Chains A and B, each alone.
Chain A
Amino acid sequence: MTEVAPPLLEVRDMHKSFPGVRALEGVRLSVRRGEVHALLGENGAGKSTLLKILAGAQPTDAGEIWFDGQALAAADRPLDRQRAGLITIYQEFNLLPDMSVAENMYLGREPLRRGLIDWPRMFADADAILADLGMTIDPRCEVRLLSVAQQQMVEIARAMTQNAKLIVMDEPTAALSAREVDTLHRLIAGLKARGISIIYVTHRLEEVKACCDRFTVLRDGRFVADGNVADVEIGDIIRLMVGRNVEFLRLPRRPAGDIVLRVRDVVRRRHPTDIHAVTLNNLSLDLHAGEILGLAGLVGAGRTEFARILFGADKADGGILYLDGWTGRFRSPGQAIGAGLALVPEDRKQQGCFLDQSIRHNMSLPSLSRIAKWGLFVDERAEHALVDHYARALRIKMPNAEVAIGTLSGGNQQKVLLARCMALRPRVLIVDEPTRGIDVGAKGEVHQLLADLAGEGVAVVVISSELPEVMAVSDRIAVFREGSLTGIVEAVEADEAQLMHLMAVETAPLAATA
């Protein structure tokens, strides 16, 4: 009988609920010593929640975590987990940009001599660790001068100073170039050789084949499968990931009308001042009256950035819009609104709502110029009529229109923002993550509203990270991958595995316009 070494990390029957959402239901995860373990699943499958719990950033409702032969206390804080050797590297790095590499590596654990920081030793130690990992980074260099890939290496080097046994990497390659990805994978192989385990979260499935040993797939907060990467094909993994059990009513299709908006060759290059920004490569598409065009893609694929450029909210390096008489790009959202566009932004609280202000003020703001006397004073009677009309049409549940929008539920806040856009009577409506963070009932209502708007001839663009949602509401689906369009498909013909393939696996970008 061969003796099987106990796994380094064992998560058993993990449960976690948020108000209204069951994020994890009986999840398990087993990571062996010295393996690279891919944690896979669609957006909303529960990966992020699991990572936060592992890092000690969130408590569990139920479940055990065994690490290195010991049960970890549920009350652990992030620092306790780090001391145990369980290090998490988030997508947004935790580095202090104005401090040196060595200072970042030893932050809070600086080597001391007679109570004062022993600078020579700190730099020597840092240098030794960096050299040991095969990195050519000067420990005295300020972190803000490093590239994204180098900053990530500093994070890994810092993990080494903490005697890491398990390093959790959340989408480590999302901001890396192909060559940098190779370097990272070599580095990971080196860590593995030292017996360090890695949990590797990614949406890029070819990387799973390239650098991972085993995988675990989550779906709807549940464990679906685990196994050896060598035993499966990418297609198998996609089949395990998709098929989320989300009930969305598939809405009836409508015949599309004339082209309202043509978009040609939208380009955004990488800017040295903003190395995390997504680049966009020659994006072109047409938008028809009365259709809903879904934009599908992984987080960071460039959908939101594309929409914000259309709306004049961000600058582009190239691209032309044709909208009736208008040709060019909008220089500001005000200009775009004037031309008949409207946007419900991605982040309801940060970009959409004036949380302290009343529902009335929130809803009427961009329409004030139309209901102002002599263009100066707000015609409050017209304003009340407008608010009443949309509150009734959208069945917004509120005590009255004078309460702060911040007191409403997420679904009703979203309806207020939709009403705000509808009151502008737009020809093109862009809705970014229309149902994020709102309950299921309200989701259905929002979908119906979007369908009704399209029925009235509005060209609607829906951005959603939930594939089932995109498939339920759209007439056509444009798929984004790393700033390129990889396909435009009719929603009736689309199946989830095909879309996932376009989103997550290397494919040639669409050459011509659709």
Chain B
Amino acid sequence: MTEPQVDGSMTDNAAIVREPASRRRDMIGWLRTYGTALFLVVLIVFFTAQNDRFLSPRNLTNILTEVSIYGIISVGMTFVILTGGVDLAVGSLLAFAGMAGGLAAHAMGLDSTFDWLAALVAALAVGGIVGWLQGRAVTFFGIPAFIVTLGGMTMWRGATLILNDGAPVSGYSDAYRWWGTGAVLGLPVPVLIFALVAAIGYVVQRYSRYGRQIYAVGGNIEAARLNGLDVKRLVTSVYVAIGLLSGLAGFLLSARLGSAEAVAGTGYELRVIASVVIGGASLSGGRGGIGGTVIGALLIGVMGNGLVIMHVSSYWQQVVIGFIIVAAVAFDTYTKTRR
């Protein structure tokens, strides 16, 4: 029996295959998928043409290291945004966890070669616990994630200042500093860790049951619940994950700078959210991915660095990056409504 591809009823949008429009649709679909990557390549070519120092190994290392710190958090943010949530507290939490780590390192003694381990454990613990608290506030009290983490953004920044009375903590061992400034096979350690985190994030998103469940929760939370998913636990888990990653980033940043600063990570929440959104995720949840996020993070890093090299003032950089965020979402919305 030869059945038509789509059943004959006119009741629904039966037009899956329709010739003239489909090529246009393919084009838009291709742009939706690869548009950001294409734009990134264009930017790199453009900046290289402007100044050949842009492609120098030293500059590239700089860009990548810079990107890695907030890129690590962006991986967590991808999962948060996939559930339809958001986390504005990541920059403050990074500072809080970094500061806690710095104090833990000092508690180990300044000449200890394992001060980094104490700092790492403390930073992850602080990040994980704070993430869990925020996740519970969202899921069990039904407070919007925007509000919970807006409060968190102020609270954890304040807590950071309280921890060491506003003063930075510094004077780490070389082993500690290696995590921020060292290199393996010519690649900076933070970059390698970012690559590892992104790879794990990709595998979880693409191949794991958990990843499927996160997409389901973001796509239709009621349907997810009726399919037996423990929606509250799943949503809580993404806040724990982003808390842990913020803690990791806080540790790496303190290692890179050689000190844990109370103002560390200020404004990171915007860069992190921008990376995810430029990477094609939908703030209403259910759509997006790690691949896009990594490209989004790189794009922001390249843009910032390139403008510096071109001697564009930092004032203008803010304008440009803000514009790109809006343009990316506008493109996304436009192509979605034209589907």
Contacts and interface: CB of A to CB of B under 8 A. Distances in A.
Given A343-B226, A356-B287, A399 B215 contact: no
B223 A354 contact: yes
14 contacts: A20-B10, A20-B11, A332-B230, A333-B225, A338-B228, A361-B212, A365-B224, A365-B227, A366-B228, A368-B213, A399-B16, A407-B16, A409-B9, A412-B7
A369 B287 CA distance: 23
A463 interface: no
A397 B216 contact: no
Contacts of A407: 13, 16
Interface in A398-414: 398-399, 403, 406-413
Contact of B6 (A337, A409, A438, A439): A409
Nearest to A412: B7
Instruction: State the 3 A-B residue pairs at the shortest beta-carbon distance, nearest first.
Output: A334-B228, A354-B219, A337-B228
A390 B321 CA distance: 48
Nearest to A19: B10
B11 A350 contact: no
A352 interface: yes
Interface stretch (A46-54, A126-134, A183-191, A372-380): A372-380
Interface stretch (B36-44, B112-120, B202-210): B202-210
Contacts of A468: none
A444 to B, nearest CB: 13
A174 interface: no
B3 A334 contact: no
B17 interface: yes
B225 A313 contact: yes
Contacts of B14: 409
A356 B212 contact: no
A357 B228 contact: no
B192 interface: no
A57 interface: no
Interface string A435-454: 00111011000000000000
Contacts of A337: 227-228
Interface residues of B: mostly helix, strand, loop or mixed?
loop
A377 B230 CA distance: 18
A45 B128 CA distance: 58
B11 A439 contact: yes
Interface of B: 3-7, 9-14, 16-17, 207-210, 212-213, 215-216, 219-220, 222-230, 286-287
Interface in A11-30: 18-21
A345 interface: yes
A273 to B, nearest CB: 13
A333 B225 CA distance: 7
A377 B207 contact: yes
Contacts of A333: 225-228
Given A20-B9, A407-B16, A376 B223 contact: no
A367 to B, nearest CB: 10
A408 B12 contact: yes
Contacts of B220: 350-351, 353-355
Contacts of A336: 228
A511 to B, nearest CB: 33
Nearest to B232: A332
B215 A378 contact: no
Given A333-B225, A442-B9, 11 more contacts: A311-B226, A338-B228, A351-B222, A361-B215, A375-B209, A377-B207, A397-B6, A403-B16, A407-B16, A408-B12, A439-B7
B214 to A, nearest CB: 12
Contacts of B219: 354-357
Contacts of B3: 395, 397
A442 B220 CA distance: 25
Nearest to A368: B209
A376 B209 contact: yes
A378 B10 contact: no
A310 B287 CA distance: 32
A308 to B, nearest CB: 9
Contacts of A437: 11
Contacts of A411: 7, 9
A128 B198 CA distance: 68
A357 B227 contact: no
Contacts of A313: 225-226
A313 B220 CA distance: 15
Contacts of A352: 223, 226
Contacts of A403: 16
A317 B287 CA distance: 38
Given A357-B219, A407-B13, A372 B209 contact: yes
A378 B223 contact: no
Contacts of B212: 361, 365, 368, 378
A357 B220 CA distance: 10
Contacts of B11: 18-21, 409-410, 437-439
A413 B287 CA distance: 20
A399 B223 contact: no
Among B216, B223, B225, max chain A CB count under 10 A is at B223
A413 B286 CA distance: 19
A96 to B, nearest CB: 22
B286 to A, nearest CB: 6
Contact of B227 (A366, A380, A441): A366
A353 B223 CA distance: 7
Contacts of A332: 225, 228, 230
Nearest to B217: A354
Contacts of A395: 3
A410 B7 CA distance: 10
A351 B208 contact: no
Contacts of B215: 354, 357, 361
Nearest to A357: B219
A356 B10 contact: no
Contacts of B229: 334, 365
Nearest to B336: A356
Contacts of A368: 209, 212-213
Given A333-B228, A343-B226, A368-B212, A356 B9 contact: no
Contacts of A21: 11
Contacts of B210: 376
A368 B3 CA distance: 30
